[in-house]
Amino acid sequence: MPINLLSATECKNATSNGATIRKLSDGDGLYLWVYLNGRKYWRMRYWQVGMEKSLSVGVYPKVSLSDARKKRSEVCGQLQADLDPSAERKSVSLRKKLSAENSFETVAREWYTKQLHTWVEHHASDVKRRLERNIFPTLGKRPIADIEAAELLQTIRKIEVRGAHDLAHRVLQVCGQVFRYGIATGRCTRNLSTDLRGALTPHKKQHQAAVRPGELPDLLRAIAKYDVTGGKQTRLALQLLAHTFVRTNELIGAEWVEFDLKHALWIIPASRMKMRAEHAVPLSRQALVMLDELKEISSGSRFVFPGRNRDKPISNNTMLFALYRLGYKGKMTGHGFRAVASTILNETGFNPDVIERQLAHCERNEIRGAYNRAEYLPERKRMMQKWADRLEKLEAGADVIPMTGRA
C-alpha cells in the first residue's frame, strides 16, 4: 500500500509558495500539482519498459484526494498486468466515442435525415415523435449492435400496455428500417424487428369511415345546406374535396399559386404530396366555380382556405368536425371521399390505372424515377368532369344515368 503523505486539509490549503508549479507527492507516483494561479491538478508518474511516463488523473477539488488514490490503484493494477495506462485510457475513450456514434439514437437520426426529403411534413413529424417518445428514452444510448430482441420487445410492449396496439406495430416497423440502415452502414448485423414477428398483439387495421355509394346523395345534399349551421368556406371545402378526392391535408394546404385556372389544372407540389412527386388534378367546370367563390372569401391570402390567421390554413379538423355536425360522426371522414370515388369509378368501368393515378397511389421505383404528373391526363380530365357531373345530379336529386369509362 502506498504511504499516504497528503491529507485532505493539506490539499485544500496547498499553495505554490511563489513557484510556477509546486509538486506535492502522495506516494507511488501520485502528485498534486499546484500552480501559481492557484489551480491544482492530479498527475500520476509511472515507469514502463525503462521509460518514465505521466498521466493526468483529474482536476482538484473535482477529483478529491480519495478519488485520486482510487485512480492510482487502477493504474497500478494495469501496470501489474503489463498494460500501458495511457494506451488503455485512449482505448476506453475510443470505445466510448464509437459507442456514441453507433448508438441506436445516432443511427436512427442519421437514417431519418437520409429519408427526410422523401416524406411529407406530417409523416416526418410522426416518425420522429414515435422514436423520441417510445424508443430513445430506453434504447437510444445503447450501441445498436448490442441491443437484443428481448430488449426491443420489452420496450415495444410498454406501448401495448397503453392499449396502443396499432402504434406498437408502427414503431416496430420504424425500428426495423433503422436496423436495416444500421446493417447497410456496418453498425449492426441483425434486423431485430424480424425476430419479433408474431410477438406483438395482432392488430386489425381500421379503415377510415366512408359512406356507401347509395348514401352519397344524402351526404351531398346535407353538405349543400351547411351554410345554415356553419360557414360557406367549410361547405365549399367539403364540396371541393368530394369533387377532387385529394387527401385532406393536400386540400387545406392549397395555395393559389398552385392553380392554373386557364388550363383548369391544380398542380400540387411534390413537397406536399405523400409520395413526394408533383401531382396534377384536373378541375371540372363545377370545381372552377367553387374556386371562384373561394377567391373572394380568401381575401388576398395566399391560401385557398385561410384560417383565422390569414397566414395559415384552416385546421385539419375543420372538415371532420363539420361532418360531425351534419350527423356523420363515425360514418364519414375527409379521406372517405377518396374511398367512395374509387369504389364508384371502378364499378363504372374507368381504367383502373387512370383511377389509381388520379388518387396518387402510384408507387415510384429506383429505376423509373418520379412519375410524370401528366400521365393519363386526357383520360383523367374526362373522368373528373364525368365525376363532377354525377355529383351535381346526385345532389339535385335527379335520375342519374350510370357513368361509363368510355369517352
- H or E segment to which residue 58 belongs: strand 51-60
Active site residues: 247, 274, 335, 338, 361, 371
**CA-wise closest residue to 259 among 250, 246, 251, 268:** 268
- Distance (Å, whole) CA 345 – CA 353: 11
- Distance (Å, whole) CA 237 – CA 196: 44
Give the single-character DSSP code of 353.
H
- Distance (Å, whole) CA 14 – CA 8: 10
295: which 3 cell numbers? 377567391
Give the position of cell 473535482.
Answer: 62
Residue 388 phi/psi, 5-degree rounding, is -65, -40
Three-class secondary structure of residue 52 per DSSP? strand
| Per-residue pLDDT, 123 | 83
- Distance (Å, whole) CA 217 – CA 313: 29
Q: Calculate what percentage of the chain has a pLDDT beyond 70.
A: 90
| Per-residue pLDDT, 221 | 96
- H or E segment to which residue 265 belongs: strand 265-268
Sign of CA dihedral 162, 179, 119, 311: positive
- Distance (Å, whole) CA 405 – CA 403: 7
**Residues whose CB falls within 8 Å of the CB of residue 275, separated by 6 or more in sequence, listed in order:** 360, 362, 363, 364
On the question of pLDDT at 404 being above 70, the answer is: no
On the question of pLDDT at 98 being above 60, the answer is: no
On the question of pLDDT at 371 being above 60, the answer is: no
- Distance (Å, whole) CA 358 – CA 337: 13
Q: What is the DSSP string of 114-138?
A: HHGGGS-HHHHHHHHHHHHHHTHHH
Band (93; pLDDT cuts 50, 70, 90)? low
- H or E segment to which residue 22 belongs: strand 21-27
Residues 54 and 44 sit within 8 Å (Cβ to Cβ):
yes
Residue 63 phi/psi, 5-degree rounding, is -100, 110
- The contacts found for 32-37 with CB under 8 angstroms, 24 or more apart, are 32/6, 32/60, 32/68
- Taking residues 30-35, what's their average pLDDT? 92
Band (275; pLDDT cuts 50, 70, 90)? confident
Highest mean pLDDT among 73-77, 212-216, 367-371: 212-216
> ∠ CA(254), CA(335), CA(200), 5° rounding?
120
On the question of pLDDT at 316 being above 60, the answer is: yes
| Per-residue pLDDT, 89 | 75
| Per-residue pLDDT, 401 | 56
- H or E segment to which residue 219 belongs: helix 216-224
> ∠ CA(322), CA(325), CA(328), 5° rounding?
90
**CA-wise closest residue to 135 among 119, 163, 158:** 158
Report which of residues 15 and 89 the model is more confident about.
15
| Per-residue pLDDT, 369 | 36
Give the position of cell 339535385.
Answer: 396
Give the tens place of pLDDT for each residue, 151-174. Answer: 999 999 999 888 888 889 999 999
Pick the range with the lowest mean pLDDT from 26-35, 186-195, 370-379, 391-400.
370-379
Q: In order of start, what are the domains of the chain with their CATH numbers?
A: 8-95 (3.30.160.390), 104-195 (1.10.150.130), 213-396 (1.10.443.10)
| Per-residue pLDDT, 3 | 56
Q: Calculate what percentage of the chain has a pLDDT beyond 90.
A: 61
- Taking residues 112-139, what's their average pLDDT? 90
- Taking residues 198-226, what's their average pLDDT? 87
| Per-residue pLDDT, 122 | 77
142: which 3 cell numbers? 445503447
Band (208; pLDDT cuts 50, 70, 90)? confident
The mean pLDDT value of the chain amounts to 87
Q: How far is CA 151 from the centre of its chain?
A: 22
* Surface-to-core class of residue 177, CB atoms within 10 Å of its CB (0-12 exposed, 13-18 middle, 19+ buried): middle
- Distance (Å, whole) CA 390 – CA 347: 14
Band (121; pLDDT cuts 50, 70, 90)? confident
Beta bridge partners of 83: none
- Taking residues 63-92, what's their average pLDDT? 83
27: which 3 cell numbers? 506516494
**378 preceded by a cis bond (ω within 30 of 0):** no
Q: How far is CA 156 from the centre of its chain?
A: 17
93: which 3 cell numbers? 475513450
Sign of CA dihedral 217, 218, 223, 224: positive
